[in-house]
Amino acid sequence: MNRQLILLKRPNGTPAASDIEYRESAIPEPGEGEVLVRNLYFSMDPAIRGWMDDAPNYRPAIPLGTPVHSVTLGRVVASRAEGYKEGDLVSGITAWEDYSISSPEAGLGVMPSDLGIPLSQFLGVLGPTGLTAYFGLLDVGQPDPGETVLVSAAAGSVGSIVGQIAKIQGCRAVGIAGSDEKCRWITEELGFDAAINYKTSASLVEDIQKACPAGVDVYFENVGGEILDAALMCLNVAARIPFCGAISGYNSQVPVPGPYNFWQLVVKRARIEGFLIPDYAERFGEGIAQLAQWMSEGRIHHAEHVVDGFENTLDTFLKLFDGSRHGKLVVRIAED
The stretches of 94-224 forming alpha helices (DSSP H) are 128-135, 159-168, 180-184, 204-211
Report phi then psi at 315, rounded to 5.
-55, -40
Does residue 231 contact residue 206 with C-beta atoms inside 8 Å? no
Q: How far apart are CA 111 and CA 95, in angstroms?
A: 18
Q: What is the DSSP string of 182-208?
A: HHHIIIIIT--SEEEETTT-S-HHHHH
Compare residues 52 and 333 and give the one whose CB is closer to its own copies: 52
Sequence-distant (≥ 6) Cβ neighbours of residue 16 within 8 angstroms: none
Compare residues 74 and 249 and give the one whose CB is closer to its own copies: 249
Compare residues 58 and 199 and give the one whose CB is closer to its own copies: 58
Compare residues 273 and 304 and give the one whose CB is closer to its own copies: 273
Closest CA to 172 of 190, 137, 146: 146
Question: Cβ 164 to its own copies, closest distance in Å?
Answer: 23
Q: How far apart are CA 74 and CA 119, in angstroms?
A: 9
Q: What is the largest CA-CA distance in the chain?
A: 60
Question: Cβ 119 to its own copies, closest distance in Å?
Answer: 28
Question: Cβ 175 to its own copies, closest distance in Å?
Answer: 21
Compare residues 202 and 266 and give the one whose CB is closer to its own copies: 266
Compare residues 35 and 234 and give the one whose CB is closer to its own copies: 234
Question: Cβ 158 to its own copies, closest distance in Å?
Answer: 13
Question: Cβ 48 to its own copies, closest distance in Å?
Answer: 14
Question: Cβ 238 to its own copies, closest distance in Å?
Answer: 9
Positions in the binding site for its own copies (CB under 8 A): 50, 56-58, 224, 233, 243-246, 249, 255-276, 279
